[in-house]
Structure 1
Amino acid sequence: MRKLVIAISMLALAGSAAFADPILDRQALMKERGKIAGGLLKVVKGEEPYDAAAVLTQLQALQANAEKFDTDVETLFPAGSDTGDTTAAPKIWEDMAGFKAAEQKYLADVKAAAAAAPADVDALKAQFNTIGGDCGTCHQSYRIKKG
């Protein structure tokens, strides 16, 4: 019983520490997202050869990232985390429902791309254009452009 209490306490502590700095945490998720998308972009542009297994792995990683972000939106963007070293626009907190809807559309499109497992580079291009459009729409509305 004591071991169970200790294990639960450790999990609770780990969970609370997971989002000790919401700005850094959301930036880390977005950097990871950008890195994965960048890898897919190289395939789309023909800079790297199309490899169905590798593309599917990247799409699944993108889906896991989007699911984590979607699950933790409120924790990643708590009130008061709009100041400091962040490019998150005030509109996020003014229109949290719209922000969540944009993220959920992105998540749905990423899930669809991963489920479809694009058979060739042309199929990937179509899916990547949709996903990239989601990114652009969200960034235009909910991100402050860096000088």
Structure 2
Amino acid sequence: MRKLVLAISMLAFAGSAAFADPIKDRQALMKERGKLAGQLSKVVKGEEDFDAAAVLTTLKSLQANAERFDAETLFPAGSDKGDTTAAPKIWEDMAGFKAVGDKLVTDVKAAVASPPADADALKAQLNKIGGDCGTCHQTYRIKKG
């Protein structure tokens, strides 16, 4: 009986995942990413004190977020319609789009592997990570109004 309940639960979960909204999913991922980058930015700007443990925790969260980015799942064909600022360039150059995402993962992993010792070191890392975000936004995002 347990096996049957487990099997039905797994099928129900798989079915619900198939009907997920990729636009909402990617927007939620990006909103989380922005919030994490914003927390780090406050430290760089001196709005919050530098706390090495807190910074590392935030960088690890940013790494987990970046690693969850799956271009094919979040940007399937047809998801360019609706409430989205995703540019057509994504689907025209999926390999380039993925490469930008991969670079972000690499740069965030490097920041986690070599945690900053102070706000200046964090600033250098955040500039690199922010550059990855900027490259993606300039090339693969439609600017709002």
Deviation at 1:84, TM superposition (A): 0.5
Cα–Cα, structure 1 residues 136 and 43, in superposed 2: closer, same or farther, change >3 Å?
A: same
Determine the structure 2 residue equivalent to 1:6.
5
Give the TM-score of the pair, scaled to structure 1.
0.92
Equivalent positions of 1:113-128 (< 5 A) are 113-128=111-126
Equivalent positions of 1:23-34 (< 5 A) are 23-34=23-34
Matched letter for residue 9 of structure 2: M
Determine the structure 1 residue equivalent to 2:129.
131
Identity of aligned residues (%): 72
After superposing on structure 2, the runs of 4+ consecutive aligned residues of structure 1 that deviate more than 6 Å are none
Aligned counterparts of 2:112 and 2:102: Cα–Cα separation in 1? 15
- What is the DSSP-based 3-state SS (H/G/I as helix, E as strand, rest coil) of the residue aligned with 2:116? coil
Gaps of at least 5 residues in structure 2 are none
Deviation at 1:16, TM superposition (A): 4.3
Provide Cα deviations, 1:80-129, integer angstroms capped at 9, x if missing partner.
00010000000000000000000000110011101111111111111000
Aligned counterparts of 2:3 and 2:37: Cα–Cα separation in 1? 40
- What is the DSSP-based 3-state SS (H/G/I as helix, E as strand, rest coil) of the residue aligned with 1:54? helix
Cα–Cα, structure 1 residues 109 and 5, in superposed 2: closer, same or farther, change >3 Å?
A: farther
- What is the DSSP-based 3-state SS (H/G/I as helix, E as strand, rest coil) of the residue aligned with 2:61? helix
Cα–Cα, structure 1 residues 73 and 54, in superposed 2: closer, same or farther, change >3 Å?
A: same
Aligned counterparts of 2:141 and 2:90: Cα–Cα separation in 1? 8
Matched letter for residue 48 of structure 1: E
Aligned counterparts of 1:120 and 1:12: Cα–Cα separation in 2? 48
Matched letter for residue 67 of structure 1: E
Aligned length: 144
RMSD: 1.4
Determine the structure 2 residue equivalent to 1:81.
79
- What is the DSSP-based 3-state SS (H/G/I as helix, E as strand, rest coil) of the residue aligned with 2:68? helix
Determine the structure 2 residue equivalent to 1:141.
139
Equivalent positions of 1:31-70 (< 5 A) are 31-69=31-69
Gaps of at least 5 residues in structure 1 are none
Give the TM-score of the pair, scaled to structure 2.
0.93
